[in-house]
Amino acid sequence: MKIVPLRILGCVAVGFPLFGILFAIVWSILYDFEASNRTICRVKNFLPTVSSAIGGFTPQRYVWRICISLQAGLRFLLAYCYFHWHLRVHMGVKHLLYKNLVTVAVCCHILENVALIVLTAISSTDNADIHEKSFITFMVCSQIYMILSCILIHWTHRSKVVMPSSQDSLLLKRKVYIWLFNLTIFFTSLYFYFRHNSYCEPYVYSWFALCEYLTIFSNIAFHSICCVDFSMYSFTIVHTEDIISGKFKNS
């Protein structure tokens, strides 16, 4: 029987994309600054966009794709774990509604990961249409997942089915604050994006890029809380014969 703490798997899952995006930003600024900041209207910029940093140049593109590939399986596993983590409580007469919301949240978690894989594998230069639709899917599913996660946890706290500790309440507040920041900075990025396309002013596209990065970092921060949510849980690999013989009992 092999036991791996889920918090370790969670830290690894969020660590890969964090390293990938930081590497892409730093490398693009140091070695591909002019090319990565170039726009059609040729205005000055100080920061490359996400698409340019992760998909426009090598080795950034390779590092980012490897990191997303390595985290993908762990993210699917964590989505499955969250499904059962939420359903560890029974909400009485409203349990069916609660379970349906949990299912929607987990499906959005999975679709968010799938969209991330697709927009990573297919860059904006490979196929702009697929890349754009994948990004939209990623953002929509990400927002739905984050707000539903907050609602579900708040619901269990208010119902008194699970008596929240001070740490549980603090974690919920952090999730809500991170989600609100993520949503706010995303809409701010849209403002800079449309302003750039309308007026093509210097540095505006870089402010859009900065908002993009903050959106990604806040998304990673939200998912990193799984390291605390699953701090008392472990992933166990058990031989079938141990289950049959009764050496391991699934509670």
User: DSSP string covering 120-143, please?
Assistant: HHS-TTT-HHHHHHHHHHHHHHHH
Q: How many helices (H) and strands (E) does the chain have?
A: 10, 2
Q: Give the span between the Cα atoms of 15 and 13, in whole angstroms.
A: 6
Q: What is the pTM of this model?
A: 0.92
Q: Give the span between the Cα atoms of 208 and 190, in whole angstroms.
A: 7
54-107 confidence digits (pLDDT tens): 988 999 999 999 999 999 999 999 999 999 999 988 888 889 999 999 999 999
Pairing of strands 2-5, 234-237: antiparallel
Of the candidates 87, 58, 74, the one whose C-alpha atom is nearest the C-alpha of residue 15 is 74
Domain assignments of the chain as residue spans, ordered by start: 2-245
106-152 confidence digits (pLDDT tens): 999 999 999 999 999 988 888 889 988 999 999 999 999 999 999 99
